[in-house]
Every structure is written in structure tokens, then in C-alpha cells.
Amino acid sequence: MNTLKPAKILTIVGARPQFIKAAMVSRALAAFRPTAGQRRFEEAIVHTGQHYDPAMSDVFFEEMDIPRPVVNLHVGSGGHSVTTGAMLEGIERELLSRKPDWVLVYGDTNSTLAGALAAAKLQIPIAHVEAGLRSFNRRMPEETNRVLVDRLSTLLFCPSENARANLAREGIVNGVHVVGDVMYDAVLHYRAKAIAPALDEPYILCTLHRAELTDDPVRLRGLIKMLDEAPHKVLMPLHPRTRKLADRENIVPGTNVCWLEPASYFAMLGYIEHAAFVVTDSGGVQKEAYYLGKRCVTARDETEWTELVACDANRVVGSDPAALRAAFDWAAQPLAENRDVYGKGDASERIAGILADM
């Protein structure tokens, strides 16, 4: 019998994409069967409360059957420093009382940074899922978060060899493992539950929420106007941040663009699976489009997911409406069959296995 004490993992999540990633890794940690010399896991999830609307948070826990967080810090919305500071304080309290062996963080949000920084100060080792991504654009808050969290992490789980190379260029070579993308695991696991939208005509699925766009009414207005001239109807589940800017600036979609409430994970899988193609500034949606066999037009100046551009699944058009229009014909063409640029869909199990060997 294995008598080793379980490894205590404290997982920090707070924003929508982190719930999706944590769903798969939490499942793999719970299902892990240790062999001789390995420990089993005891995981507790801390929710920072960065995303708090039920449609931005609760629905993911319910659909994806994610273990209930042991605490929600309810930091809510505000400036970067105010919210990150509030997270630091709350996370430190949890770390001191729960004394985990590892802190597990995901992606590049302010919740990721707060989790890593609080852990580093208490000398608790950090495991970072989705390490090594770079946009090389320091105007993005996410880029600052990525660079700092990778610097502080003991285990760095990369989705690709490019991510590993990015880390190597910054001198980070120890503890780096290319495991693939946990979001691919999620698509494979939940695809059968996708909810098809009730619409009989072809449509384009679009999401826009990045600060670089939603803090700039001129850019957002230009893109929405161009979407009105797209070859098909455009379905747009709206992030509250985008909705707020549109309301404030009186940006109203034309008749071709249909604004919707934020979508659940299963609804999103359905929207993408049945779309003609995808337009987005989200990182996760770029990959989900690829996994579900759709081309993606990325409304940003660069992407971290460069492998998708290399295999002609993704085209980066910035926020120039003419470039967006020029990509429509390309986007409507079917995508080549292979789906293997970010691993085999076993990233979560590999992460559990590596943690168990530590």
C-alpha cells in the first residue's frame, strides 16, 4: 500500500479561460493512480472572483463539473493594482493556512500573477500551465503576467516546442516540459456535449474582448461596422467589458450582427463547431476553432499561437477593417485535417504524472 502523504495542490483560478483549463487538470489530479514512490493528490481550488457574473463563472463550474472552490475572494472589478493587490492579500492568507506543496496557476491573467507572486514570497513552488507563450507586446497586461509568472515558476508546462524555445531565450530551461494544450483535452472530452445553435443559415462566430480593442472605441466601432458587411450573419456572444464600452460609446451593431449574452462552454463549442468560420481576439477561441476544424481570423496585431498561422488555420489581421474583409474568402475554405500542433489531448494526464514524480 502507498503510505506516502498526499501532495497538497492549491489551484488559483479567477477568469473564464482558467475554469476551462482547470476542469481538465483537476479531473486528471483526482483520477491519478500513483505507482511506487509517487504521491496521490489533494487539491483545493481558490477562486479570486476576478470574473463574477454567473455567465462568466458559475456556469463553467456546473457544466464542466469542476470541484467547488474552497473559497472565493470576491475581488471583483477595478484597476489592475487594486484587484491584483486584493488577490495577493487573500491568496497569501489561504497559503498560510493551507500550507500547500504546490501552487498551480493557469495562463496569463491577473489571477495567475497574484497566485504566483503570493506563492513565490512564501517560497512555495509554482507550477504554471500554459508557460512560455509570448506576444512580444508589452502593452498587453497579459504579456507582463506571462513573463513574470514564468520567471517565478518551478515547473513550466508548455503547449509547444515554440513555447519551450521562448523560455530558453529568457534563460529558463529547468523544469520545462512540453505537454501539449489542456484546452485540446477539454475539447475532446466535452465535444459530444456541444449545444448547436438554433439557426438554419450559415453564420460567423465572433468574440471581441481584449483591452487593446475594448479600450479603443474607434477600433471597436470600425470592426463592428465591417462585420455588418460580412458574407454571413455574425453571432457575437459579448463579454461584459465589450458590452460596457459599446453602451458608453453608443456603438450599435447593424442588422447583420447579432449580440448575445456571454456563452457557456457547451454553447461556445456548438457555436464554433457549426460556424462557417471564426473571428476573435481571444487566445482560447483561436485554438478551439482549430480543434473544431474551423479557420480563424484574429483581430489582433499578433498572436501567441503562431503554430496556427504556420499551418494556415489562422490569419492575423489586426484591427484594420479592410484586412478583416480581405480574410473572409480565405476563412470560408475548409481546414486541413490534422489537429496535432498542440499535442495529443493528454496534456492534463501528463501534468499530473510530472507533478507526482516531484
User: Interface residues with ligand UD1 (CB under 6 A)?
Assistant: 15-17, 50-53, 56, 77, 108-110, 141-142, 209, 239-241, 244
Instruction: Please tell me the distance from the alpha carbon of residue 326 to that of residue 307, in angstroms, as a whole number.
Output: 21
Residue 105's identity, in one-letter code, is: V
Q: How far is the CB of 140 from ligand UD1 (least distance, A)?
A: 8
- Least Å distance, CB 354 to ligand UD1, is 25
Whether 232 is catalytic is: no
DSSP 297-340: EE-SS--S-HHHHHTTSEEE-TT-HHHHHHHHHHHHSPPPS---
Cβ proximity of 194 and 63 under 8 Å: no
Residue closer to ligand UD1 by CB (options 34, 141) is 141
Q: Is the dihedral of CA 260, 262, 267, 269 positive or negative?
A: positive
Options 209, 232, 239, 274, the catalytic residue: 209
Q: Which is nearer to ligand UD1, 26 or 109 (CB)?
A: 109
| H, E, C per residue of 194-238 | CCCCCCCCCEEEEECCCHHHHCCHHHHHHHHHHHCCCCCEEEEEC
Side chain identity at 326, as an amino acid letter?
Answer: A
* Residue 95: half-sphere exposure toward Cβ, Cα within 13 Å: 25
In the complex, the smallest distance separating the C-beta of residue 290 from ligand UD1, rounded to whole angstroms, is 17
Residue number with CB closer to ligand UD1 (211 or 332): 211
Name which of 47 and 51 has its Cβ closer to ligand UD1: 51
Cα separation, 272 vs 208, whole angstroms: 14
Alpha helices in 32-109 (DSSP H): 58-64, 80-98
Min dist. Cβ of residue 62 to ligand UD1 (A): 15
Minimum Å distance from CB 319 to ligand UD1? 16
Helix (H, G, I), strand (E, B) or coil at 50: coil
Locate 104 and state its grid cell.
498551480
* Spatial CB neighbours of 260, under 8 Å, sequence gap ≥ 6: 235, 236, 237, 238
Residues in CB range of 47: below 8 A, 6 or more apart: 13, 14, 57, 69, 71, 72, 73
Residue 229 CA to residue 256 CA, distance in Å, equals: 7
The distance of closest approach from Cβ of residue 52 to ligand UD1 in the complex, given in angstroms and rounded to an integer, is 4
Nearer to ligand UD1, 50 or 319 (CB): 50
User: By C-beta, is 40 or 241 nearer to ligand UD1?
Assistant: 241
Q: Give the separation between CA 345 and CA 4, rounded to whole angstroms.
A: 29
Nearer to ligand UD1, 104 or 335 (CB): 104
Closest distance of CB 338 from ligand UD1, Å: 27
Q: Is 21 helix (H, G, I), strand (E, B) or coil?
A: helix
Catalytic center residues: 209
